[in-house]
Amino acid sequence: MNETKQVKPFGIKDKMGYMFGDFGNDFTFILSSMMLMKFYSDVMGVAVGLVGVMMMVARFVDAFTDVAMGQLVDRSKPGKKGKFIQWIRRMCGPVAVASFLMYASWFKDMPMGFKIFWMFFTYLLWGSVFYTSINIPYGSMASAVSADPKDRASLSNWRTIGASLAGMFIGVVLPLIVYYKDANGNQILSGSRMTIAALICSVGSVICYMLCYNMVTERVKVEQKTEKFNLKELLLGLARNKALIGIVLASVCMLLVQLTSSTMSTYVFPNYFKNTQAQSVAGVVGIVITFICAAFTVKLSQKFGRKELAVAASIFGAIVYAIAFVLHTHDAWVFVAIYAISYIGLAVFSLICWAMITDVIDDTEVQTGERSDGTIYAIYSFARKLGQAASSGVSGLLLTLIGYSQATAYDEAVVNGIYDITCLVPAVGYVLLALVLIFLYPLGKKRVDHNAEVLSAKREK
């Protein structure tokens, strides 16, 4: 792995281009995590528990497709623009089309068996095949854009900003468009409006992906792996990689917090508070908090360390959600304020987590002498999908346990249960995240700085 010569220096164009990449990713990812369960339960009439099971089953498929894609990326020949970025242009169209097809409201009157088949088929096609084929090379690309840890931290920051922009559209604009009020004043999700919104998100994702493709430059040459693939050796190596295990478990916990909050917002605001305007404002608040945290997170992580900063942020978030549970407020705007404060913990970790995976890639090279950006990122991507599945599975299971259905969606006991789930699951997720980082993730500031020095000396030889 060597720095290429005669290329323009790393700068704002790369940062913005990388930002657009995750903007494109999350046009479909956040839409799925926030709206898919609500769409199939309220529009298509599928039980929420079954939707959660589907998302968990898909993760078993991802165990194979993610690793396979990571190997394919590592073994692919670099193109004119680089090794990783070529995949973005290839796969942006298929992932957008598959995402749109998941929200086929025109099938709502079909037999239940067909609707369940369509749900499984399109979700696997989107998430386990096409999203995997674009997200893994995109995430792996951070290591090739620059070898400087500071630049990578900056890319992590900008990537989170891109995700926040997608979240702003989906979390802020969509609730104002896709819901309507029935005769009783209840907020009802419109199937046809949801389908149009999905189409808009798919088109937006393709535009963002192409901006990423044209703005980002790969400066670090990552050679094609040609040695024979050995699954047993790969699995043993991954099992001994404590840093990778740590970041995998941390990511599962982080996604449990993030996506449970996102999924449950589509239930707690329309059903418990009966206020989708507050849901939109909460989405805006999340974006604002992320931008504020982005201004100082990189500097704080350089001073104290990424692991150390993430632990503090996780503990803070857990405390705030615990307070929200105890208060059990019926005021939507009080809850928005609590949500804003708790989001600081999530924003800080989200801003640095992508740099943490490059720390793991560097540490693996120092420990083993081999660099496998695509494979390691594939494992990390799979972990994030496990987090998504855990969130969806837990949310679906708990909604089922409290008796949620189309018929009971506004019963007092059910909506109180929705509020409890919205507070308790993220609080537990934050606690687990802090414990994983403290006891399992070994890459504190000293070790990260040491690895950077070792690899810098290696490349200068």
When divided into structural domains, the chain yields a total of: 1
CA distances from 87 to 139, 141, 308 (A): 11, 10, 34
Does some domain include residue 158?
Answer: yes
Encoded tokens for 226: 């040609």
Task: Tell me the sheet residues that pair with 187.
Answer: 181
Q: What pLDDT was estimated at residue 5?
A: 47
Does some domain include residue 259?
Answer: yes
How far apart CA 401 and CA 296 sit, in angstroms, is: 42
Instruction: Identify the DSSP state of 189.
Output: E
Cβ contact 105:192 at 8 Å: yes
Is 180 strand, coil or helix?
strand
Q: Report the interhelical angle of 48-75 vs 373-401 (nearest 10°).
A: 180
Cβ contact 244:12 at 8 Å: no
Does some domain include residue 2?
Answer: no
Q: Please list the helix, strand and coil fractions of the chain in percent, rounded to the nearest 5, in that order.
A: 80, 0, 20
Q: What pLDDT was estimated at residue 369?
A: 77
Does some domain include residue 284?
Answer: yes
Cβ contact 21:180 at 8 Å: no
Cβ contact 405:47 at 8 Å: yes
Does some domain include residue 3?
Answer: no
Cβ contact 430:314 at 8 Å: yes
How far apart CA 184 and CA 37 sit, in angstroms, is: 23
Write down how long the chain is.
Answer: 461
Owning domain of residue 195 = 8-224+232-460
What number of CA atoms fall less than 13 Å from residue 129's CA on the CB side?
Answer: 14
CB atoms within 10 A of CB 300: 18
Given a cut of 50, the residues of the chain with pLDDT beneath it are 1-5
CB atoms within 10 A of CB 322: 18
pLDDT tens for 219-257 read 877 665 656 655 566 566 667 788 888 988 898 888 888
Beta strands in 42-199 (DSSP E): 179-181, 187-189
Predicted TM-score of the model (pTM): 0.67
Helices (H), 76-101: 86-101
How far apart CA 43 and CA 260 sit, in angstroms, is: 20
Q: What pLDDT was estimated at residue 3?
A: 47
Cα 52–Cα 181–Cα 262 angle in degrees, nearest 5:
35
Nearest alpha carbon to residue 139 among 21, 220, 225 = 21
Helices (H), 216-275: 231-239, 242-267
Does some domain include residue 419?
Answer: yes
Encoded tokens for 416: 């109180």
CATH number (domain holding residue 412)? 1.20.1250.20
Tell me how far apart the 2 most distant CA atoms of the chain are, in Å: 74
Which residues does 453 contact at the CB level (< 8 Å), separation at least 6? none
Task: Tell me the sheet residues that pair with 130.
Answer: none
Encoded tokens for 313: 């942020």
How far apart CA 202 and CA 43 sit, in angstroms, is: 20
Q: What pLDDT was estimated at residue 376?
A: 77
